[in-house]
Structure 1
């Protein structure tokens, strides 16, 4: 089972590197880096969610063999990208994932008022970002901030400009939703609206903590991914045998 994690705003896919040690041997972590960071730091950042999801979908598709089973996990910005990536993969004719994991973000069709991130000063923008927590102290060192702040701002801009477009079909693979009980950016009612864009049942998992709860409980997150994927696997095999 191939696992493709999609990071949150400003982050490289390397934030999931620890999962390599936590996943069982029958699972393999595949790092599809986003433009503008990590091994792709020389590339320009994305101009839209559509551009980002199409690019990542192509990279995922290139790492799949014909009969590969795989799952995609996205946190925060990554959750929204995962939603759009699913449909980009379908357009490409790529075999659909076994399971999708949406974490730390309200359902894509929940209206969020635009904040005009592009017009914010760095000071105001940083105040907004700090609400999410999880900012390391070294981020505020000038050289590091000069490098990473433009990436973070670019990600927030494409999220701010995102406009939900209803899809012709609902998601037909397995879906799980992760959220924290004290995440200011999500609401349990809005998280449960993920079920409105999914054909079948959705598994919901609540964790203690704030927005970056996934960094607090990497072992629990990985174990839940494996459990939900294999539950879905059993169900799909039963259907295939009928």
Structure 2
């Protein structure tokens, strides 16, 4: 097995494969999340879209690997794993922490002279330039559990199980450290269309903070506001899949200008 294939298989999960697809979508999970979060998306978009879900170390089948508490380091390694994927148009989707990693991944594609993503989807995350002094990763396990409960993205039964918590807490804390210590580099912009998705009741992202993604690309921007909190994706999955289909399969085009805002 070549080093390139080995790196790809370490980081990427496909469920199911879509060999006859016309476009590829790389999906990056939230803090504490795993590739399996996107398997339902992959199933819904197949066979038109080849969905690649990124698996961070420290969880599921990579649970014995050390966590990486750095957004740039995560982006560097993911880029090394996927940079050879040049046979299909490529789009990026990241939720919460995943949106920040996807942004850094897109910048690395530009720096390497590779084709820019045909579309970048930023979900459940304020723009990189909109900083908050969050320090959840420095809190106690109880404080972190309280944060997870507030965001409603982790199974309540899992949070109530001490043995399971002991297994997943290192990865969660590492991810929070990565995103909370991330430093945005001013002046750098994407050159692709950006679709921003956010919940209208997200305690971690205001609509204004989500709209600020417009300043991070020279391409057109749209903002979709859905009912729900930080994990609106779960409750609004039908509408989100429809949006992905519209943008990736039907390839509807955004026009430059002020971001189009749609409240669902």
TM (norm. structure 1) is 0.89
Shift of 1:234: 5.6
Q: How does 1:196-235 map to 2 (within 5 A)?
A: 196-230=215-249
For structure 1, list consecutive stretches of 5 or more residues without a partner in the other structure: 237-242
Does residue 131 of structure 2 align to residue 99 of structure 1? no
Indicate how the Cα distance of structure 1 residues 128 and 37 shifts in structure 2: closer, same or farther if over 3 A, else same. same
Aligned equivalent of 1:60: 82
Contact 2:134 2:180 in 1 (8 A): yes
Contact 1:174 1:232 in 2 (8 A): no
- Structure with higher RCO (Cα < 8 A, 6+ apart): 1
Deviations 1:21-77 (A, max 9, x none): 211522111122112223322211113111011112222224x1x342111100011
Match for residue 109 of structure 1 among 129, 136, 140: 129
Shift of 1:166: 1.5
Deviations 1:179-211 (A, max 9, x none): 011111111111111001110220111111111
Structure with more helix by fraction: 1
Aligned equivalent of 2:141: 122
SS of residue in 2 equivalent to 1:108:
coil
Indicate how the Cα distance of structure 1 residues 183 and 226 shifts in structure 2: closer, same or farther if over 3 A, else same. same
Q: Matches of 2:65 and 2:111 in 1, distance apart?
A: 25
Contact 1:175 1:203 in 2 (8 A): yes
Indicate how the Cα distance of structure 1 residues 53 and 129 shifts in structure 2: closer, same or farther if over 3 A, else same. same
Aligned equivalent of 1:141: 161
Deviation larger for 210-219 or 19-28 = 19-28
TM (norm. structure 2) is 0.82
Deviations 1:200-230 (A, max 9, x none): 2201111111110111122221220121235
| RMSD of Structure 2 on Structure 1 (CA) | 1.9
Match for residue 33 of structure 1 among 23, 30, 55: 55
Q: Matches of 1:86 and 1:94 in 2, distance apart?
A: 10
SS of residue in 2 equivalent to 1:177:
strand
Contact 2:34 2:54 in 1 (8 A): no
Contact 1:32 1:59 in 2 (8 A): no
SS of residue in 2 equivalent to 1:43:
coil
Indicate how the Cα distance of structure 1 residues 93 and 36 shifts in structure 2: closer, same or farther if over 3 A, else same. farther
Equivalent pairs counted in the alignment come to 232
Q: Matches of 1:157 and 1:111 in 2, distance apart?
A: 14
Contact 1:98 1:233 in 2 (8 A): no
Aligned equivalent of 1:73: 93
